Structure 1
Amino acid sequence: MTEHIRTLTTADEINAGFRVFLRAMVGLPFRDVDAVEVTDPGRYLGALDGTEVVGGADSYGSWLAVPGGARVPHAAVTHVGVLPTHRRRGIVSRLIARQLEDIAARGEVVASLRASEAVIYERFGYGVASSVRSARVNLRRAKLRPEVPAGGRVRLLDRAVTTEALAGIADRAAWPGAIGRPAGWWRLQEILRAADPVTHYVVVHSTEGVDDGYAVYRPLDTGGWFASQEKTVTVTDFVALTDSARAGLWRHLLSLDLVDVIAFESLPLDDPLPLAVVDRRAVELGPERDETWLRLVDVEAALRERAWGEEDAVALRVSDPLLESNNGTFEVGPKSVARTNSAPHLSADVATLAAAYLGGTRWRHLAAAGRVAVHDPDALRRADALFATPSAPFSGTVF
C-alpha cells in the first residue's frame, strides 16, 4: 500500500478531497464550490497516493441533543469517499479508524453520519439511531381538524436575511437527535440555493413575537407548472420548536394556492401530521429509511449525559474493537451511571448500544435479532424502560 493518510491542509488539497467525494458518490452533480468555505479547518483527512488525493473523510464540529435535553460534543462525519481507481484497498477502513482516533482526541463524545450504503459503517461501531419517512399531502382532500392549534404569525423572508434568521431558530432545537448546524453547513445551503434556478420560499413562524419555527420549500417541474394536474411543492427543511409553530407552518403550507401536493422530504416516524387532518388518507406516508448512524466515541460520557427512565439499574457490558477505552461493564440507572466489576445483565457491541442510545430501537427487538447476549431475562424489560423516550429520535439535518 502506497497511500498515506494525513490532514489536508492547503486549499488545493481540501478542494481535491471534495472532488474525490463527488466522484465517489457518482450521482451527485459537480458544482463550482470552494470546499474551504463549507468545511471546518483541520478536520478533513485525506488518503494520498504520492501527491494525489485519492480518498477523504471529513467532519464538522457540532453538538447532539440527547434524551433529557443535554447537548454533547459531536462530530458530524461527511464527505467520505475513495476514487473508483483506488477501491478495495482498505482506504476507507483506515480513514474511518484514523478519524475516530482524531474525534476522540478532540473530546467529542459522539459522531454521526448519513450513510450512502447501509453495509459499510456498522463494522466501525455505527448503529442506526433514528429513522425517517417522507410524506405527500393531497391538498384537495387535506383539511386540518378544528381542534388543531391556530398557530402564530407566519412571514416570508427575503434571501438576504435567510441564514441568520434560520440559524437562530435551528440552534435552539432540543429534541433527541437534533444536531448543531455549523457555519460551513449553512454556507453550503446558500450556495446550493443560489445555483438553483427555481425559487426557494422561506417562511418563519413566531409566537408572541418570538421566532420558533420555519419551513423552506420549492415548486417541482416549474416548466409545466400551470398545465400540470399535480402541481407539487416539496418541503426541504422544516423546523418547529413548539406545537404552535408546527401547527402554524402546517396551516401555511396546506393553504397554498395553485398547489395540489405538499411533499415533505423527511419527517420523524411519530410525526403528528396524519393525526391533524380530518381525512387521514390525505397524507400518504413513504417507507421508513435510516437517518442517523450514530457512533459512541466515549461510551461512559455519553451514558452519563442522557436522562433515564425510572427503573432498576441494568449492568451492560460493551465491546468496542476500535476504541479500547470503551470496553467494560456499565451500571446504568435512573440516578447514576458508573463502571462496575459486577456480572453483566446484558452484553452488546458498541454499534448495538448506539442503535438503542437515543431511544429509537428497543433492546428486546435487538435481542430478538441476536444482537444482545441476555444474562438476566428481566434485564431486557428494565433496559427498555430506562432507554425509553417520549418521542422518536429525529435529526432533520442532512450533511
Structure 2
Amino acid sequence: MTTELRVLRPADWDLWVDKVELAFGGVAVAPEERALWRRLTHRERSLCAWDGDELVGTSGAFSFRMTVPGGSLVPTAGVTMVSVQPTHRRQGVLRSMMRRQLEDIRGWGEPLAGLTASEPAIYGRFGYGIATHNIHMRIETHRVQLSMPSGAEGAYATDGVRLRLSKPEAARAACEAVYARRVATRPGMLARQPGWEESPLLDPEGGRDGASPLQCVLAEAGGETVGYARYAVRPAGEPAGPKGTVVLRDLEALTPAAYAALWRFLFDIGLTSWVEARGRPVDDPLLHLVSDVRRCRVSVSDRLHLRLVDVGGALAARTYLAPVDVVFEVEDAFCPWNAGRWRLTGDAKGASCERTRDAADLALSVRELGSAYLGGTSLASLGRAGRVREAREGALAEASVAFGSAVAPWMPHGF
C-alpha cells in the first residue's frame, strides 16, 4: 500500500464529500443536506487517504456524548463518512484509516466509538459489536386499533393532552426541549450537540418518495410541550377509496398520556390506511397498545455498532443492575492497549475497572464487550454462541445480569 493518511484540509472538503458520494453509488445528496454536513464536519477529526495526488479513502468522527446504563453521558466518537474508492479496495486502506482513527480517538480521551454500518459484516474485525437494534413497522391502521388500559385513567388518560399542529421549524425549540429530557432515560441516546438540531428538519423534495413536506404535531399538557411527532403523508388510492400512508419521522413523549395521544392522532389521519414507523426501539410501548401486533408487520435491524476504545474507562463509566466482581480476559489485537485482564467491580451506584493479574473469570473479545455494553445484548446469549468463555462457574450468569438494562438501548439520532 502506497497511500498516505492526512487530516482533511478546508480546501479538500468538497472533494472529500464527492468521494464519499461516489463510493456510496454516486448519487449526490441535496444541496441543503450537503451544506449542513459542511457546518457539522469536524475537519480536524477527519482523515483522507491519498495515493499520490488522488484521494482514495475518507473517514470522520463527530464528537458526541452518549447515555450509558445509569444515566451518565460518556464522550463518544461518532464514526462517519467512511469510504474507499473501488480502485483501492482490499489494499489495506480501510484498515489503516480505522487504526489511525482509533488511536486518535484514544488520544482525544473518548472511551467509546460508535457507527451505523452500511454493510454490517465490515466492522466486527475492527472491534465493533452490534449494541442496539431498531424495529420497523408498517401498521394497517384500518384493521388495528389502539387498546388503552381498562378505564384509561391516570398516566394513560389522554383527555388532558391537547394536540396542536405546527410548522416543523416553528416547533424546533419545543421539540428539542422534549428530546433533551428524553436523552438520560435510555442508553444509546445521544445528547444533541450545537447544530445537530437542524438534522431532523432536513426535508429535501427529492427524498420524499411521493410524500408531503414534513409536518409536526405537538402534544401539550399543563401549559408545556410534553411530546411531538414529525411525519409526512404519502397519498395513495384504489377504486375502493383512499389508502394513503403516514410516514413517521420521529416521535418522543414525556408521559404515557402524550405518547398514546400522539399515536392515536397518527392512526386517525384522514385518507390513510397505513402508518410506517422506522427506527423505533425494540421495546416500543406501542407493541403493547395495538390490538393485533401481526398486522403491524414488525421487522428488526441492527443500528449502533459500538467499540470500547478504552476498556477500563468505558466499563467504569456505567452502572450495573446487580453487584458484580468479575475478571475479564480481553482480546483486542487491533487496539493492543486494551488486551489483557481487567477486574470490574460495581453496582447500581458506580463501578471501577482496573488492570489485574488475578485469574480470569470470563474470556471474550472487545467486540463482545461492545455488544453487551449498553445492556441490549446479554453476555449469556453471547456465551451460548461460543463468543464468551467461562473460566469460573457462575461468572457468566452473574455478569450477564449485572450488564442488563431496564430499558432497551436505542439510538434515534442519526449521523
The TM-score normalised by the length of structure 2 is 0.88
Q: Residues 165 and 14 (structure 1 numbering): CA distance in 2 closer, same or farther, change over 3 Å?
A: farther
2:163 aligns with one of 154, 170, 192: 154
Match of 1:200 in 2: 214
What displacement does 1:29 show? 4.4
What displacement does 1:65 show? 0.5
Match of 1:255 in 2: 268
1:275 aligns with one of 271, 288, 292: 288
Mapping for residues 114-153 of structure 1, pairs under 5 Å: 114-147=116-149, 149-151=156-158, 152-153=161-162
Q: Distance in 1 between matches of 2:401 and 2:346?
A: 10
Worse-superposed segment, 123-132 or 229-238: 229-238
What displacement does 1:345 show? 0.6
Q: Residues 186 and 20 (structure 1 numbering): CA distance in 2 closer, same or farther, change over 3 Å?
A: farther
1:177 aligns with one of 183, 188, 191: 188
For each residue in 1:316-351, what CA deviation from the matched residue of structure 2 results, as whole angstroms up to 9, or x when unmatched?
222222333322322233153232322111011111
Match of 2:411 in 1: 395
What displacement does 1:66 show? 0.6
CA contact (8 A) 2:131 2:370 kept: yes
What SS is found at the alignment partner of 2:22?
Answer: helix
Amino acid at match of 2:25: V
Match of 2:385 in 1: 369
What SS is found at the alignment partner of 1:333?
Answer: strand
Q: Distance in 2 between matches of 1:336 and 1:38?
A: 34
What SS is found at the alignment partner of 2:131?
Answer: strand
Match of 1:36 in 2: 38
1:302 aligns with 2:314: yes
1:336 aligns with 2:343: no
What SS is found at the alignment partner of 2:359?
Answer: coil
Amino acid at match of 1:104: R
CA contact (8 A) 1:48 1:55 kept: yes
CA contact (8 A) 1:110 1:298 kept: yes
Q: Residues 182 and 20 (structure 1 numbering): CA distance in 2 closer, same or farther, change over 3 Å?
A: farther
CA contact (8 A) 1:311 1:385 kept: no
Mapping for residues 197-236 of structure 1, pairs under 5 Å: 198-220=212-234, 222=235, 224=236, 230-236=243-249
Amino acid at match of 2:233: P
What SS is found at the alignment partner of 1:277?
Answer: coil
Q: Distance in 2 between matches of 1:341 and 1:23?
A: 49
Amino acid at match of 1:284: R
For each residue in 1:231-289, what CA deviation from the matched residue of structure 2 results, as whole angstroms up to 9, or x when unmatched?
11111222234323322221221121111001101121121212112334442212x21
Match of 2:7 in 1: 7
Q: Distance in 1 between matches of 2:335 and 2:283?
A: 34
What displacement does 1:308 show? 0.6
The TM-score normalised by the length of structure 1 is 0.91
What displacement does 1:117 show? 0.7
CA contact (8 A) 2:168 2:230 kept: no
Q: Distance in 2 between matches of 1:99 and 1:163?
A: 34
What displacement does 1:211 show? 2.6
CA contact (8 A) 1:215 1:237 kept: yes
What displacement does 1:382 show? 0.2
What displacement does 1:54 show? 1.8
Give the share of equivalent positions with the same residue, in percent.
Answer: 34
1:243 aligns with 2:256: yes
Q: Distance in 2 between matches of 1:242 and 1:40?
A: 36
What displacement does 1:371 show? 1.0
What displacement does 1:45 show? 1.1
For each residue in 1:137-184, what CA deviation from the matched residue of structure 2 results, as whole angstroms up to 9, or x when unmatched?
211122222425134233222143244333333233121111123345
Query: Structure 1 stretches of 5 or more lacking a match?
Result: none
What SS is found at the alignment partner of 2:45?
Answer: coil
Q: Residues 120 and 78 (structure 1 numbering): CA distance in 2 closer, same or farther, change over 3 Å?
A: same
Q: Tell me the C-alpha RMSD between the 2 structures.
A: 2.2
Q: Distance in 1 between matches of 2:50 and 2:273?
A: 50
